[in-house]
Structure 1
Amino acid sequence: MSSSKNPLKAAYSKVREAEERHAEKLRAKAARTAAPAERAPAYTKTLQATKDKAAARRKALAQTERASVAAAVRVRKDDGGTLPMGKALYLVQSFLQGRERHAEASVEQIREAVGINIDPGANPQLHDALTESEHVEVVPAAGVLRLRYRPKHGVRDAAMLAALLSRAVVSGVPRSELVATKEQPQACYEGVEADIEKLIREGRRTETLDASQMLARAVAIERPDTRDRVLFAPTAAKQAPAGLRAAWAAVEVPRGDDLQAALVQRKLLSKEELEVRRARKAAAIKAREEAKRAAKPKRERVGSRKITNTHLDLGK
């Protein structure tokens, strides 16, 4: 006997199909809830002052001009060959950067290391490019040219670090530009990490200090996108006198209806304005509740079902 001719068997088949569909929905729902939700990427907006933007544009333009000149000019080597000035600059700066504690070097020491004479009589354009480079510092000496590597921000000791951070009010100084990293194998100076942590610890102190004592402090803020700590100068805010703070603490601020009555009494708000605010608030609450009800899916009403297994006795 086919299921189309047996109503009990047909009903049982429909019930089994409905149960399978329901089980499939439950499995899909469990898979969706088990999958970790993708976190939206953190949004970070960096604000830059107009003068900083102009300085960055001038710096980029100067770098472009220097790059074009470096690509066209050839530098003479001691072995008789030549190489582009850009590569010569890189070799000299790398040698100065690799010296222990960024020690200064003379013309002869540089010549022995890289095989290039940086004297203005031999390579005048290379000499001018080195003395104008932001990564090279000319050491004052009597009639002798001596150069040394200039680290980022020119920081060489704890005093220069404190002076730099004391000026970091609007634009902070990233910690990665001061310490040793993969991109910058050498730190500004030995022990800069300990000095930074000391300045941060001093910046957590709450007592009020004068302007001279604020130099030995710093505040660190971690960027959410790069996880780099940006260092700022702490704000030198003065605390109110103890008597004034005690008077403020003794004032009781009214709340709720008492606050509204006080505002009306002092003619800061009128009763009509308060009524408008109440009506606006009630309308907003009602709109939120209606939107919540509209977004909630309605459950389908399922009638009662009677399931039997009498069809198993059909073949007996």
Structure 2
Amino acid sequence: MSMKTKIPASGIDFAAWKNDGAFDGNAEARADLIADVNDYFGDVFNPQNAVDTTLEGQKSREMGGFDVGGGSPLDFAYMALFKEVNLRTSTSRFHEVVDISAGITFTELVDGEKAKVGNISAASNTIKALEYGAALGILDRWIRYNEFFRVEEALQAAVKTYGYKQADMHYALLKALGTGVNEAFDTSVEKTIDNACATILEAVGDKYGLSDQTEFTILANRRNASIIRKALAASFDKPNANNGKIESNIGRFVITSNTNIPASAGAYVALPEHSLESATWRDLTSEEARSAARRGTDLHWSGEFNAAIGNSSQVRRIALA
């Protein structure tokens, strides 16, 4: 393999791969190129690579996205709530969610059909791997005329589309929770947050062996971020003299602009992990095939994942006014 100069975003130098014959019948070089693309996918979709920035003067933290170029980071904020379940070596399409109480997940009736939110119960406490993917043709003329930026743009489009799908599905589960998780506004945002934490502790504290020091996570639309920040700041601005501070242990505050978490919904207070699960059977990977009709190479991307809220008592949707 010849020396490659990294280019923005993916770091894959398609020009060098062209010189090595990856687009011109060299099977070994082509296989290595696909491996490079898959390695990049693995980095991008690893939540551990998300930027975790501590807010100055506050205990809470905001999880940003892994920058994939173009100023459009992926939204990984949901992973502050969900437990990551690694099923990459599993030989079953199904995963058992241990704790079930008014649970929801995504389901599909037949392969390829659009997933819909469905209920899970103690009688059927499994979630199924759902496959999502896309395809793109890399035209011969792009390679011939060294228009590698078009290949890079297509790669980024695949990453962002798949990343949005993952985030959207997780937030849709929160949106689908019924009115039973609603926490009415009580005097102040601080008091309402405390009420939500207390409700969660009373519902699942004994089951999970929790204490008053258990950490909670707050998720809100970006438009409501300043309201939550102000409430959190009261816990650190002269806390002994501030009777309106939050008494509960808020370990993380994350924000999103996803439309499933609108500002009108207030915010979500959650006990993270436990029955809130995000399962991955297969990371986004690519395969290629020559298309004579297209006069190019077709790249097919796909991955398998699903998520579930096994016990809705872990989540409260709070009103901010």
Q: TM-score range by the shorter chain?
A: under 0.3
Going by fraction, where is helix more abundant, 1 or 2?
Answer: 1
Going by fraction, where is strand more abundant, 1 or 2?
Answer: 2
Rg: which structure is higher? 1
Q: TM-score, normalised by structure 2?
A: 0.19
Work out which structure has the larger RCO, using CA pairs closer than 8 Å and 6 or more positions apart in sequence.
2
Q: TM-score, normalised by structure 1?
A: 0.20
